[in-house]
Amino acid sequence: MIDINLKSHFYTAMLFLPAMVKRKRGHFLSVSSAMGYHGICHQSDYAATKHALVGMQESLYYEMQKMYKTPYVRTSIAMIGHTKTALFEEFDVGLIGRFLGPLLEPSYVADQIVDALEAQETRIIQTPLMIHLLPGIKAFPSFVRDFLQALSGGDGSYQSRPSNEQLGLE
């Protein structure tokens, strides 16, 4: 999980960012998820990698702007909710969870990412709408966060860790 979801982004950055800095142009985009802002049961490793990407992208943004003085080297991150893939075939967050985080069409997610790249703007792509709310929820007392977590249905959505087959690794 750490190799695929985190290290791959570091290696890609190490490979391509030096040339972007030299040319003073480029766009580095990472794909995270709603779990880049919060975690759920049975997903600590996944959530850790996605949280790390948020910090990595934020740091890269400031490095490009302040350290390297390359405002046209863009850094974006896609904070994506549940997308219609094999991973989410049996994923069920319940009625309220589906309302707050509807299953996204892959083409819609791809369009959001392509729009950011074509616009050549640094962006935090957050979809669906509920992802915009997640960072602010951390400011609430724990009993409120626990209630919202239970309401979302996320903790019951994975009965155990997904298998490698579910993750597309076999």
The rounded distance, in Å, linking the Cα atoms of 50 and 161 is 16
Residue 161, in any domain of the structure: no
What's the one-letter identity of residue 97? Answer: G
pLDDT given for residue 103 in this prediction: 81
Asked if residue 167 belongs to a domain, the reply is: no
Question: What pLDDT sits at residue 158?
Answer: 60
Q: How far is Cα 40 from Cα 35, in angstroms, rounded to an integer?
A: 8
Q: Is residue 75 part of a domain?
A: yes
Tokens representing residue 110 in the block = 């791809």
What is the pLDDT, as a whole number, of residue 84? 80
165 lies in some domain: no
pLDDT for residue 145: 87
Whether residue 122 lies inside any domain: the answer is yes
**28 lies in a domain?**
yes
pTM, whole model, 2 decimals? Answer: 0.83
pLDDT at 166 over 70: no
Say whether pLDDT at 4 is over 70: yes
Instruction: Specify the CATH number for the domain of residue 115.
Output: 3.40.50.720
Confidence band of 170 (pLDDT split at 50, 70, 90): low
Work out the percent of the chain whose per-residue pLDDT is above 90: 59
> Is there a domain that residue 76 lies in?
yes
| Active-site residue, 108 included | no
Domain that holds residue 152: 2-156
Q: How confident is the model at residue 130 (pLDDT cuts 50, 70, 90)?
A: confident
Question: Degrees (nearest 5) of the Cα angle 125, 127, 131?
Answer: 95
Peptide bond into 128 cis (omega under 30): yes
- Which amino acid, residue 61? Y
pLDDT at residue 122, rounded to an integer: 95
Q: Which position among 37, 46, 61, 158 bears the catalytic label?
A: 46
**Taking the alpha carbons of 119, 123, 127, 129 in that order, is the dihedral positive or negative?**
negative
User: pLDDT tens digits, residue range 58-112?
Assistant: 999 999 999 999 999 999 999 998 888 876 766 666 677 777 778 889 999 999 9
Residue 54 falls within a domain, yes or no?
Answer: yes
Domain count, the chain: 1
pLDDT above 70 as % of the chain: 86
Q: Which two tokens stand for residue 139?
A: 């400011």
* pLDDT given at position 139: 94
Give me the mean pLDDT over the 132-138 stretch: 90
How many beta carbons lie within 10 A of that of residue 29, not counting itself? 18
Which of 67, 78, 66, 69 has the alpha carbon at shortest distance from 28? 78
